[in-house]
Amino acid sequence: MCKSFQIKIIGKVQGVWFRKYTNDKAKELGLFGFVKNQADGSVYVEAESDSETVLQQFIDWLHTGSPLSKVERVNAVGQDCQYFDKFEIR
């Protein structure tokens, strides 16, 4: 059964390869969705999987992110599945 989250990551998360590392981690975990920068300096992710455990692993990983990032807050909210066919950087 599909589980899906909208996730906002706040902190020093732009200009530190956060989207690339997030994309790599999502693909490693077999997730679907996307990651993109926001105008307010945050990063926005939509991620979905049939495994709530895998999604939780991903959300936990987002608290660390890329080696140069400094994550202050991760807000994850459940949503209806969008049925993405891949994970990508937007």
Q: What is the pLDDT of residue 64?
A: 95
Measured between its terminal Cα atoms, the distance across the chain in Å is 26
Burial of 59 (0-12, 13-18, 19+ CB in 10 A): middle
- Entry pTM: 0.96
Which positions are annotated as active-site residues?
19, 37
Phi and psi at residue 23, in whole multiples of 5°?
-60, -45
pLDDT tens string 7-57: 999 999 999 999 999 999 999 999 999 999 999 999 999 999 999 999 999
User: All domains of the chain, ordered by start, with CATH?
Assistant: 3-82 (3.30.70.100)
Provide, rounded to the nearest whole percent, the portion of the chain with pLDDT above 70: 100
pLDDT tens string 55-71: 999 999 999 999 999 99
